[in-house]
Amino acid sequence: QKAEEAVRIAAQEKARIEAERKAAQQPPKVERAPLPQANDNPPPAKPKSNPFTIDNLLKSLQ
């Protein structure tokens, strides 16, 4: 049973690698703009709690 799973995983990996190889061989169809300069400053920390919860929505409707 583990052997079957290993064979299945190997086949999936082989198919993924083959797809990546084919994609790499095809020329890009769209001329892409250069990426913007990387921002050295980390983004501001996002609050962990979402203020727009269902409870707050229901309370605001009352």
Task: Give the total residue count for the chain.
Answer: 62
Per-residue pLDDT, 20: 86
pLDDT in tens, the chain (62 residues): 789 999 999 999 999 999 888 877 766 666 666 666 666 666 666 656 666 677 777 788 87
* Per-residue pLDDT, 36: 66
pTM for this predicted structure: 0.38
Instruction: Give me the residue spans of the domains in the chain.
Output: 1-29
How much is the pLDDT for 60? 80
Q: Half-sphere exposure (CA, 13 Å, Cβ side) for 7?
A: 4
